[in-house]
A and B are shown apart, each in its own frame.
Chain A
Amino acid sequence: MDWFFNFPHMDDDALRNLKKFIDESFRAFTRAYGDAIEGFFSPLQTFLIYSERFMTKTPWPIITLIVLAIAWAGSRNLKIVAGCLFSLLAIGYFDMWDDTMRTISMIFVCTILSIAIGIPIGIMMSRSDRLQRIVNPVLDVMQTMPSFVYLIPVVMLLGIGKVPGLIAVVIYAIPPMIRLTNLGIRLVDKDVLEAADAFGSSSWQKLVWVQMPLALPTIMAGINQCIMMALAMVVIASMIGVQGLGQPVLKAIANQYFTLGIFNGLAIVGIAIIFDRVSQSYGQRLQKHREIIHG
């Protein structure tokens, strides 16, 4: 009756050998292809370094002006611009400017990358039910697998640094981008699509003139979610050497520095709110034509 009380598991030796075999194979793979893969990602590295240098080396008044200009261009809302100014000044005043700039640079690159990869995948998914059935479980895994777990192979392959951090953040942040692009396109009004067909639109014309514009509010929500999730990963990414607001937080956790933790945490919240409000109101402004309704 032993099998009834204890789950009859794989033989201990066999299990150890299996794990060892997988580890060995992955190590062999790393040794064989690690350099090639690193080379493949080196353009990303350059982009990251360039972006970070720009954010940290540019004098703070200029960066502040740029951020405010973007906020104004996006939202056309003085309240939001004032909020941005206040957050940035507070961050600077409490001596977190450099770390914040590094984090913003990281988030910026992650978001661009997620959009560049996520939107095409979302579009392809919306066109094929079969692809949707394949991709959906993959996205589920990406969102639920604890991030530390996929940090291990990434670090083994690429070592510690910016690029593995970037990959980890993108893996975590890209699923909403893909899902919402797919959903947005699938929800486009069938009548309008039929009209586009009736006028002889090619599938590219239909995508660019009908599906993408009508899916835009949902896609914008995807971008917004993507930014928020990328920010949430900042602390975890700092464990593999990504500089920015995550590292002081990590230090605070290790040494129980309450104030250090809360200051940097609040700085993350501050830039999250800036990103969120600006991108949301930009999205709403793109949809202005929806608001005016005939009486």
Chain B
Amino acid sequence: MADQRFDGIKIRNLYKIFGQNGAAHVEAVRNGLSKTELNEKFGLVLGLKDINIEMPAGCIQVIMGLSGSGKSTLIRHINRLIDPTSGEVLVNGVDVVRMNESELRDFRRHQTAMVFQKFALLPHRNVLENTVYGLDVQKINRAKSTEIAMQWLERVGLKGFEKKYPNQLSGGMQQRVGLARALSNDAPVLLMDEAYSALDPLIRMDMQSVLLGLQKEIKKTIVFITHDLDEALRLGDQIAILRDGEVIQQGTSQDIVLRPADDYIANFVKEVNRGRVIHVDAVMTPVAAGHAVNGATVMSGSSIDDAMKLLAHGNATDVTITDPAGIPLGTVDLKCLAAAVVSSH
């Protein structure tokens, strides 16, 4: 339903300096003034430094970082809840930074929807009334907005809870309301600010599956903020890792796990369940076209875990990887799979 030709989000040379007259110091920061120096000399806080990210339409872009890394600041620049000190934020080709107040309001109503870490539901509105909030703002009549909202509430598994109030629901269910509220807007951009960080691990996994399932249909441009690398690797088509307001690595989950840019990221990656993240493609021995397929096969893009499961429970000694058409691309055996799972660092 979202705009077919939506052009994605491009962030260019974005700087944010918190404090009075930050703009005067952008040039100095560009020329190498450090975060600590900026704070000590001028009492200003460097929030974001030279951020450049291209988020293609229809993908989940994860922005990962620990607290204080600037990730929540960054996502708030996309719908300009925070004004940048300098730089461009192009959403579908339009620079959000240059919009005036009414353009911005219109942009927020139709182009973006947001899900919040602390849910931010209205306590005096019931689940249904919360879900239609974005549509109320757009002045869509209740009959129509209720229909849309009910459809999304059902999709996120809240059918039958329409009349409950937020504080009658558990955290996981409240966040489902937050998700339904955002989806009801049918905006091409979905911003999720640590949306699952307040949930306990099992419910978080569950909500991740809900999101991945939905994304197959809705194909929105999702910006997902998290501090959890496992979550980032599971959800992200693209991942950007942020530290102290700077992007230190961008890439796919494979790039991050197999080729961490520095020790900081390598340190994170050490704790990751590699078997579940790394694709068999990364470790297979390529075979010539026309290689005979015998025994177990997995699809290209499967995880090492999938291949190991086949070997562990079957009699085969190796697994053939095929593309979606069934043409073999390569093989893996237990030894090479085991080597990939054990971190090389």
Contacts and interface: CB of A to CB of B under 8 A. Distances in A.
Interface of A: 189, 191-192, 194-202, 205, 209-210, 213-214, 216, 287, 289-290, 292-294
B137 interface: yes
Contacts of A210: 122
B108 interface: yes
A294 B167 contact: yes
Nearest to B164: A292
The list of the 7 closest CB pairs from A to B, nearest first, reads A200-B108, A200-B109, A195-B120, A289-B165, A198-B114, A191-B120, A199-B134
Contacts of B133: 196, 199, 209
A198 B119 CA distance: 13
B113 interface: yes
Contact of B81 (A189, A198, A294): A198
9 contacts: A192-B120, A198-B81, A198-B108, A199-B109, A200-B104, A205-B136, A205-B137, A287-B124, A289-B126
Contacts of B108: 197-200
Contact of B116 (A194, A202, A287, A289): A194
Contacts of B137: 199-202, 205
B114 A292 contact: no
Given A200-B107, A200-B108, A202-B137, 12 more contacts: A191-B120, A192-B120, A192-B121, A192-B122, A194-B81, A195-B114, A198-B114, A198-B116, A199-B134, A214-B123, A290-B123, A292-B165
A209 B122 contact: yes
Interface in B67-121: 79, 81, 104-110, 112-114, 116, 118, 120-121
A6 B136 CA distance: 70
Chain A interface mostly: helix
Query: B106, B168, B169 — which one has the most chain A CB atoms within 10 A of its CB?
Result: B168
B227 to A, nearest CB: 18
B81 A292 contact: no
A294 B119 CA distance: 15
A202 B101 CA distance: 10
Contacts of A201: 105, 137
Given A209-B122, A214-B124, A289-B124, A197 B170 contact: no
B185 interface: yes
B136 A209 contact: yes
A194 B122 CA distance: 12
A197 B136 contact: no
A213 B185 contact: no
A195 B116 contact: yes
B123 A198 contact: no
Nearest to A210: B122
Contacts of A214: 122-124
Interface residues of B, number: 32
Query: A197, A214, A290, A293 — which one has the most chain B CB atoms within 10 A of its CB?
Result: A197
Interface of B: 79, 81, 104-110, 112-114, 116, 118, 120-124, 126, 133-134, 136-138, 165, 167-170, 185, 191
Contacts of A216: 124
A196 to B, nearest CB: 8
Contacts of A195: 114, 116, 120-121
Nearest to A212: B124
A140 B293 CA distance: 89
Contact of A200 (B106, B126, B168, B191): B106
B167 A292 contact: yes
B199 to A, nearest CB: 14
A191 B116 contact: yes
B104 to A, nearest CB: 8
A289 B167 contact: yes
Contacts of B168: 292-294
Contact of B105 (A189, A200, A213): A200
B339 to A, nearest CB: 47
Contacts of B107: 200
A75 to B, nearest CB: 20
B185 A199 contact: yes
Nearest to A206: B137
A202 B137 CA distance: 8
A209 B124 CA distance: 9
Contacts of A292: 165, 167-168
Contacts of B170: 294
Query: B112, B167, B191 — which one has the most chain A CB atoms within 10 A of its CB?
Result: B167
Contacts of B79: 198
A186 to B, nearest CB: 17
A293 B167 contact: yes
Contacts of B185: 199
B148 to A, nearest CB: 14
A57 to B, nearest CB: 40
Given A197-B108, A198-B79, A199-B133, A191 B118 contact: yes
B203 to A, nearest CB: 13
Contacts of A209: 122, 133, 136
A193 to B, nearest CB: 9
A294 B120 contact: no
A191 B107 CA distance: 20
Nearest to A193: B120
Nearest to B191: A198
B33 to A, nearest CB: 30
A110 to B, nearest CB: 29
Contacts of A294: 167-170
A194 to B, nearest CB: 6
A129 to B, nearest CB: 16
B113 A199 contact: yes
A15 to B, nearest CB: 48
Nearest to A293: B167
A191 B113 CA distance: 15
A210 B152 CA distance: 23
A202 B105 contact: yes
